[in-house]
Amino acid sequence: MSARTRLLVWITLILTALLTAFIYWPGVHGGFVLDDYGNIVDNAWLHIHNLHPNTLLAAAFSSHSGPLDRPISMLSFALDEYFWGPGPYAMKATNIVIHALNGFFLFAVASLILKAYRRRFRPDLEPALLAWTALAITAAWLLLPINLTAVLYIVQRMTSLSGGFVMIGVALYLHGRLRMLEGRKGFWLILLGMLVFGPLAVLAKESGANLPIYTLALEWTLFGFARANGKRDARLYAFYLLVLVLPGIFGMLWLWPGIHASFEHSERLFTMDQRLLTEPRVVLLYIAWSLAPNLGVLSLYHDDFPFSTGLLSPPTTLLSIIALALILALALWQRRTRPLLSLGILWFLGGQLMTATIFNLELVFEQRNYLPDIGLLLALFSMTLLEPPVQRLALPRRVLIVGLIALYAGITALRVHEWANPIRFAVISAAAHPNSPRATYGLGRTYANLVTNAQSPMLPLATQALERAAAVPHASILPASALLILHAKLKLPLKPAWWLDIEDTLARRSASAQDINGLTAMVNCAMDESCQFPRTQMIRVFQAAFEKSPNSANIITIYSNYALNVLHDYPLALSLMQVAVKLAPTVSQYWINLGRLDIYLGNFKAAEDGIVHLQSLNRLHHLDDALKDLRNRLAEARKIDARAAAKARTPATKTNETTPHD
């Protein structure tokens, strides 16, 4: 490839990244949605005011979204807010920059894949054609409409950040393998990619654990575990045994009991078997949504997706399973004749292993395709641009690819337009998904945020939208709780039907994460005295919650806050906090709450024991500030107690009394 062509390719790549940022940039004016609130907006640990290491560590481990807390992603949110201030604007801008940078990582990966393909299978291919193909794959991926939620849904920086680390790891693997095939040292690059960028990817989001799956697909289709002399490289077999097979076996042995228990004790409407039956339908939809996107179907909200209850219920269940089996068979069959097609299919399916199988996750989320859809583009573009003879209909093929990329850009721009305005986004989402509990509640919440007083014209719209959301099948208590909070703040009557809706929902099934958020919002409103809720009614709500969720540490903690700050029933609050730490002994905030109350009530020995336990959770020193605060509180309380005791022991001085004279 000439220097001129190489320069032109790089200029086009840079312009494509800038175009991506330009198309996405109006989206920075959108708002927070869904899990943004729990992970960012309402996360007190994330709102840092200094860059002390302990503060940063506390922010990094302030989320419980995954088993590892996703500290790299959480730390990035905290730094965003520290340097640029609160609000979604800067965080969305950072997400756009990360996505654009990931385009450069993908270009490196795609170029190395095509280089390996040319070396082993197609030495007749011109390097310039491969460079433009890699660029086309990158451009399509950057502008792919299904990837939008990984960019403008702020908390899904976890996905894009993890994806960036994975792509660096893959690029290092490819570079190392190509060096090894040239007779040079390259295994150290493989180790660097897997042992450094693999953990970074996992600490951003657990889906980073797919890195060895992606590299195994590359190895099997492009390299064949071969040395430079063509013989098998035993190191690679040992490598995958250590980084994939053994961790997979031990991980499943460790996780399996918890996976079963999570379905048995969760708020999910579906069982594990039903999830496994449903996901083939979902995966086929992902393929369609990725390659042939439909603006009317793509959405943040897919919680109204109907799950399968049997092989023929609906009939598309069995058809989808057969279709996926045939697609997998195609990949195995075409491994030697069309290895890029095989690789693309295996890459896509491998990327779905964590989110489309046995784990207790929601059924559908578009951002799960952020890395897997690279495989789809690789398969499609290689078949379109590189299949022999490449000279035949070359111009129509290239026009087709350019037109497809332009289509992706146009649909993404329209989606960004929707996301750029919170009201427009809420209205369109609710209209597209009228049976989605989250979409309909999102509309009601958006209207409610615009209500300023009892005479606001938005009040009837908010009330109507929230009541409609509360009536959606499988709705949480969020709409009803929002109605109560809105009307209580405005000193308006509270309908008994709203209270009954909350009680019935909580008594009917285990409390969901949305139910927890609703209870928390109600208690917070009562605590700051903005909401004068009847105490007997609030107690009935918690009694209903305990019917189906008697061992929920979250609900117990919320009730303890209510008992402490509203009822001022200190014995009840203390007993509830003690139960919470027994149910969730590794949640540091529960121990901090209990410690503060023990100190306030003079239970100094119990407070000391709690501090000792909290210290055992402080493996990374991220709780140093909290521990220091508790120790200072304890020392001050003991001083006050000692002074009070000393004062009580000091005999009172009798004053001289004078008898008044007549």
Residues near 308 by beta carbon (within 8 Å), at least 6 away in sequence: 274, 277, 278, 281, 314, 317
What is the band of 230 on the pLDDT scale with cuts at 50, 70, 90?
A: confident
CB-based burial, 447-486: b 16+ in 10 Å, e otherwise: bbbebeeeeeebbebbbebbbbbbebeebbbbbbbbbbbb
User: What pLDDT was estimated at residue 265?
Assistant: 67
DSSP helix/strand/coil, 313: strand
d(CA 601, CA 304): 48
Tokens (6 digits) for 200: 């970074």
Instruction: Decide if pLDDT at 1 tops 60.
Output: yes
Instruction: Decide if pLDDT at 621 tops 90.
Output: no
Instruction: Decide if pLDDT at 358 tops 50.
Output: yes
Q: What is the DSSP letter of 650?
A: S
Instruction: Decide if pLDDT at 190 tops 60.
Output: yes
Q: What is the DSSP string of 197-261?
A: IHHHHHHH-GGGGGHHHHHHHHIIIIITTB-TTSSB-HHHHHHHIIIIIHHHHHHHHHHHHHHHH
User: What pLDDT was estimated at residue 221?
Assistant: 95
Tokens (6 digits) for 469: 């959301």
User: What pLDDT was estimated at residue 340?
Assistant: 96
**Residue 529, Cβ density class (10 Å: 0-12 exposed, 13-18 middle, ≥19 buried):** exposed
User: What pLDDT was estimated at residue 651?
Assistant: 63
Q: What is the DSSP letter of 356?
A: S
Classify residue 654 as left (phi > 0), alpha (psi -120 to 50) or beta: beta
pLDDT, tens digit, 9 for 90 and up, residues 290-319: 999 999 899 999 999 999 999 999 999 999
Angle between the N-to-C axes of helices 3-24 and 394-419, in degrees from 0 to 180, rounded to the nearest 10:
30
What is the band of 224 on the pLDDT scale with cuts at 50, 70, 90?
A: very high
**Residue 649, Cβ density class (10 Å: 0-12 exposed, 13-18 middle, ≥19 buried):** exposed
Q: What is the DSSP string of 169-204?
A: HHHHHHHHHHHHHTTS--HHHHHHIIIIIHHHHHHH
Instruction: Decide if pLDDT at 661 tops 70.
Output: no
Instruction: Decide if pLDDT at 207 tops 90.
Output: yes
User: What pLDDT was estimated at residue 290?
Assistant: 96
Residues near 660 by beta carbon (within 8 Å), at least 6 away in sequence: none
* C-alpha separations of 154 from 37, 173, 430, 557 in Å: 10, 30, 20, 28
Instruction: Decide if pLDDT at 255 tops 90.
Output: no
pLDDT, tens digit, 9 for 90 and up, residues 364-385: 999 999 999 999 999 999 999 9
User: What pLDDT was estimated at residue 286?
Assistant: 97
Instruction: Decide if pLDDT at 652 tops 70.
Output: no
d(CA 211, CA 213): 5
Instruction: Decide if pLDDT at 660 tops 70.
Output: no
User: What pLDDT was estimated at residue 204?
Assistant: 95
What is the band of 644 on the pLDDT scale with cuts at 50, 70, 90?
A: confident
Tokens (6 digits) for 164: 């960036």
Closest CA to 514 of 433, 437, 435, 427: 437
d(CA 27, CA 33): 13
Peptide bond into 389 cis (omega under 30): yes
d(CA 374, CA 377): 5
pLDDT, tens digit, 9 for 90 and up, residues 512-543: 888 999 999 999 999 988 999 999 999 999 99
d(CA 510, CA 548): 5
User: What pLDDT was estimated at residue 10?
Assistant: 95
Across all residues in the chain, what is the average pLDDT?
91
Rounded average pLDDT over 424-450: 94
CB atoms within 10 A of CB 324: 19
d(CA 647, CA 637): 15
Q: Can you say how many angstroms the Cα of residue 440 is from the centroid of all Cα atoms in its chain?
A: 21
Closest CA to 140 of 384, 416, 390, 403: 403
First to last CA, the chain: 122
CB atoms within 10 A of CB 547: 13
Q: How much helix, strand and coil, in percent to the nearest 5, is found in the chain?
A: 70, 0, 25
Least confident of 31-35, 160-164, 199-203: 31-35
What is the band of 654 on the pLDDT scale with cuts at 50, 70, 90?
A: very low
- 610 in Cβ contact with 598 (< 8 Å): yes
- Beta partners for residue 313, in sequence order: 310
Rounded average pLDDT over 170-180: 96
**Residue 129, Cβ density class (10 Å: 0-12 exposed, 13-18 middle, ≥19 buried):** middle
CB-based burial, 92-112: b 16+ in 10 Å, e otherwise: bbbbbebbbebbbbbbbbbbb
